[in-house]
């Protein structure tokens, strides 16, 4: 059994307090390999941003949880070596059972999400409460994120056909009964790189899909019910058209890609939204560069020369997010 404190990691409690009062959101970037982790840490050290490293259950299966834990420990040392110690959280994304959450906590995760949002309300409450009771009873206090409302889209093991928005009338009761440290809500974000069906969108003059706007009215209503309480947005990639174009130029096929415009996320980050999950954008940046390199250098077969440029692009993307979208730069 390991405590996250031995790994040099922190939970989210203090970070969220500062983010809510400071009007910014922490980046929650998913990782499952070395290059992603290098890019995240380099970007966050350079922009002096705290960071949440997210591991999904799919990533856990792909990369092994012990390896990931030790990579997170290595990330703390790497940041130090780069010259600036930033707060680093190791977070389980979309934990679906009590047992999985406990297993991750005992491995050294400093924060977990228990996602009971697809269950009926009372079952969601009971499951979430059970995880919170264990996580908070520990000496090291592991923070817990719950979810109300369902996001559409596909993300690793998580998929839902239809979204339904968070009901503001439920949030107060949910917090009281479960004791969660933060709450993921559904206000129109969505998992994956095709967040909306074309028929849900309009098109601009160039035929580019314009998504329906986020439901800021619901967010405001929720904020009124639970003032200052940390809110989380999942599925918040913007799906940059430049990356989609590069991927398609070099043989990929990503029809009907559409994300959440960055200015809407910036607006959300200024509210009580204090954690914004971004995964698909990183996948797109990496894939775009890998395809480009493989096409332009057909004789290249050194994985470092193929993944290196992808890593550099990823770092650029994350720096941009911290500075221009989340507002988390210079907060660490
Ligand atoms: Zn999610």
pLDDT one-digit tens code per residue, 297-331: 999 999 999 999 999 999 999 999 999 999 999 99
198: DSSP letter: G
Average pLDDT over residues 80-98: 97
pLDDT tier for residue 164 given thresholds of 50, 70 and 90:
confident
Cα 327–136–13 angle (5° rounding)? 15
Least reliable range by pLDDT among 167-176, 190-199, 281-290: 190-199
Q: What is the pTM of this model?
A: 0.96
Per-residue pLDDT, 240? 95
Cα 323–60–73 angle (5° rounding)? 60
104: DSSP letter: H
Per-residue pLDDT, 206? 85
Pairwise CA distance, residues 8 & 69, whole Å: 11
Average pLDDT over residues 95-120: 96
Whether the predicted pLDDT of 280 surpasses 90:
yes
Cα of 209 vs centre of ligand 1, distance in Å, is 22
CB of 89 closer than 8 Å to CB of 12: yes
- Which one, of 12, 223, 219, lies nearest residue 110 by Cα? 12
CA distances from 263 to 2, 48, 85 (A): 40, 22, 29
* Residues noted as catalytic: 93
CB of 165 closer than 8 Å to CB of 28: no
Average pLDDT over residues 171-193: 96
Per-residue pLDDT, 116? 96
Cα of 323 vs centre of ligand 1, distance in Å, is 22
- For 296-305, b/e burial (b = at least 16 CB within 10 A) is eeeeeeeeee
Pairwise CA distance, residues 239 & 15, whole Å: 27
Per-residue pLDDT, 204? 87
Whether the predicted pLDDT of 152 surpasses 90:
no
Average pLDDT over residues 219-233: 97
Per-residue pLDDT, 7? 97
Cα of 137 vs centre of ligand 1, distance in Å, is 26
| Structure-token pair, residue 230 | 């940390």
Per-residue pLDDT, 318? 98
% of the chain exceeding 70 in pLDDT: 97
Whether the predicted pLDDT of 189 surpasses 90:
yes
Least reliable range by pLDDT among 23-37, 154-168, 268-282: 154-168
Per-residue pLDDT, 162? 66
Per-residue pLDDT, 151? 84
Helix-, strand-, coil-residue percentages of the chain, each rounded to 5:
50, 15, 35
Cα of 146 vs centre of ligand 1, distance in Å, is 11
| pLDDT, the chain, mean | 95
Cα of 60 vs centre of ligand 1, distance in Å, is 15
Pairwise CA distance, residues 138 & 159, whole Å: 32
Per-residue pLDDT, 160? 62
Cα of 133 vs centre of ligand 1, distance in Å, is 23
pLDDT tier for residue 159 given thresholds of 50, 70 and 90:
low
């Amino acid at each position: 059994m390991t405590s996250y404190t031995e790994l040099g990691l922190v939970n989210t409690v203090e970070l969220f307090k500062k983010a809510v009062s400071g009007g910014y959101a922490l980046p929650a970037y998913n990782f499952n390999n070395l290059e992603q982790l290098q890019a995240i840490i380099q970007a966050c050290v350079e922009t002096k941003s705290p960071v949440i490293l997210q591991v999904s259950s799919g990533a856990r299966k792909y990369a092994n949880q012990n390896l990931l834990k030790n990579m997170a420990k290595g990330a703390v040392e790497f940041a130090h070596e780069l010259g600036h110690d930033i707060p680093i959280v190791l977070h389980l994304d979309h934990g679906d059972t009590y047992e999985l959450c406990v297993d991750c906590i005992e491995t050294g995760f400093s924060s977990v999400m228990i996602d009971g949002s697809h269950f009926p309300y009372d079952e969601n409450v009971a499951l979430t409460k059970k995880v919170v009771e264990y996580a908070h009873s520990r000496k090291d206090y592991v923070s817990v994120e719950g979810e109300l409302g369902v996001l559409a889209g596909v993300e690793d093991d998580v998929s839902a056909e239809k979204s339904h928005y968070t009901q503001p009338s439920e949030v107060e009761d949910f917090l009281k009964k479960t004791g969660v440290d933060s709450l993921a809500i559904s206000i129109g974000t969505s998992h994956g790189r095709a967040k909306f069906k074309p028929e849900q969108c309009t098109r601009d003059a160039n035929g580019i899909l314009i998504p329906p706007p986020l439901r800021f009215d619901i967010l405001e209503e929720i904020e009124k019910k639970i003032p200052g309480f940390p809110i989380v947005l999942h599925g918040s990639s913007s799906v940059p058209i430049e990356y989609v174009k590069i991927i398609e130029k070099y043989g990929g096929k990503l029809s009907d890609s559409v994300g959440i415009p960055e200015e809407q996320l910036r607006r959300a980050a200024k509210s009580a939204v204090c954690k914004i999950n971004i995964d698909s954008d990183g996948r797109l940046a990496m894939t775009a560069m890998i395809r480009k390199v493989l096409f332009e250098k057909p004789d290249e077969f050194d994985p470092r020369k193929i993944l290196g440029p992808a890593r550099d692009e990823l770092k650029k993307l994350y720096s941009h997010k911290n500075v221009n979208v989340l507002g988390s730069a210079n907060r660490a």
